[in-house]
Structure 1
Amino acid sequence: MSQPDTFAAQVATLSAQLLKFDGGDRAALRRMEPDTPAPPAYWRLVTVAGFIHWSEEKQAVLRRVVRQMALLVPAGETDKVTLHKTDRPLGAVLCDGGDGEWASRGGPPQPVISEDRLARFLAMPARGRGDALDRMLRGIARRRSPALGIDCGELLMLALRPDDTARLNDIARDYYRRLDQATRSAQQKATA
């Protein structure tokens, strides 16, 4: 088996392989806990993606991110599902819920994850942020458009460096950028 040799390629491979798994393997990954033994599907996935040589500490982090990614994959056929998309930052997805039609539903756009909830997420201690992100992604998974992805590399980097202030600021910036774009678009439609 050939393994990807850059982080970006590894994340892309991880995402692509996850979409190839059957429903049973994806369900096992959704149930996986970072601090318990991983199911065989996890080990197949990280081997192909080139993460097999990571330390146990990093594997625990990766297990959480793989679970988050699996949560975002809808049940059933995955032929038309996009999971990883580098131009869909986490902050934007927290704002629009991964729904391409979100801003055109009428009225001023309301973020899927409220500003208050985002602020609490960004301010919380790093050790609690993973569980909070899990809960937010579960909610997003229910409404996410399968054709729109999320930058899974950003999920992984946030988990690996939870105290990185610049990364947290990027999430907020991307959230507000997405909200501002939708608000301006709604205002232009209202005045046209």
Structure 2
Amino acid sequence: MMPSIPPEAPEKPAATLASSIGHIAATIDAEHFPSGERAALRRLSPDAPPSLAFYRFAFKHLPPDWEAQRNAWMAIVSGIALMCPRPHRPDRAAGLALAEAGYSEKRLERLLAAEGDTLHTLLLRAVRFLAAKNATCNWVQFARLLLSTGEEKREAARLAIAREFYRNHKDHKD
């Protein structure tokens, strides 16, 4: 007889990015998720080594290949934790959320042109901006921006964010 999995055991994230992001957001935002762990995830920084809280979370909830892009996943997890409660809204484009919150074109330009750890840092700044405005968005779009490795895919991620930003932009400047 196979041992049964206790009901409190976390489900493994599914294979698609959208389902992985949904799982991560639901887990971090869950009422029973320890507030100390959520706070530790909020404090993750691209220029610091991962905390034990990140490793505990990563090995339980991130896709199996997360280690290949550890810093990008740290930024995703930290950003989702920063935007709690209700960090992920699949029906609300990231560019729309940035535009409606008054994010400036100059900041968007820097964000979309950035690479590597600079991208992670600037994305977390954008997330803090959204969190301060109690805004939420589709985290899959931010994840694609961070995780896309080919130039064509990275450009498609940039374009998706820029498209929704400019469709909804109200001439905010720095």
State the TM-score, normalizing by the size of structure 1: 0.70
Aligned positions, number: 154
Q: Of 9, 22, 30, which aligns to 1:12?
A: 22
Query: Within 2, Cα distance between the matches of 1:44 and 1:86?
Result: 26
Query: Within 2, Cα distance between the matches of 1:119 and 1:60?
Result: 22
Query: Within 1, Cα distance between the matches of 2:111 and 2:37?
Result: 30
Cα 1:155–1:122, aligned 2, differ >3 Å: closer, same or farther? closer
Query: Within 2, Cα distance between the matches of 1:50 and 1:123?
Result: 27
Letter in 2 for 1:61: A
Query: Within 1, Cα distance between the matches of 2:83 and 2:147?
Result: 20
Instruction: Supply the RMSD in Å over aligned alpha carbons.
Output: 2.3
Query: Within 2, Cα distance between the matches of 1:39 and 1:151?
Result: 27
State the TM-score, normalizing by the size of structure 2: 0.76
Question: Which 5+ residue runs of structure 2 have no aligned equivalent?
Answer: 1-8
Query: Within 2, Cα distance between the matches of 1:96 and 1:25?
Result: 30
Task: State whether structure 2 residue 66 is matched by structure 1 residue 49.
Answer: no
Task: State whether structure 2 residue 27 is matched by structure 1 residue 22.
Answer: no
Q: Which runs of 4+ in 1 moved over 6 A?
A: none
* 1:184 alignment counterpart: none
- Does the CA-based 8 Å contact 2:66-2:73 persist in structure 1? no
Question: How far does residue 115 in structure 1 lie from its aligned partner after superposition?
Answer: 1.8
Cα 1:55–1:48, aligned 2, differ >3 Å: closer, same or farther? closer
- Does the CA-based 8 Å contact 2:50-2:74 persist in structure 1? no
Task: State whether structure 2 residue 41 is matched by structure 1 residue 36.
Answer: no
Identity between Structure 1 and Structure 2 (%): 27
- Does the CA-based 8 Å contact 2:13-2:61 persist in structure 1? yes
- Does the CA-based 8 Å contact 1:58-1:160 persist in structure 2? yes
- Does the CA-based 8 Å contact 2:25-2:88 persist in structure 1? yes
- Does the CA-based 8 Å contact 1:90-1:155 persist in structure 2? yes
* 1:93 alignment counterpart: 97
Letter in 1 for 2:26: A
* 2:6 alignment counterpart: none
Query: Within 2, Cα distance between the matches of 1:32 and 1:122?
Result: 21
Question: Which 5+ residue runs of structure 1 have no aligned equivalent?
Answer: 74-80, 98-111, 181-192
Query: Within 1, Cα distance between the matches of 2:125 and 2:14?
Result: 32
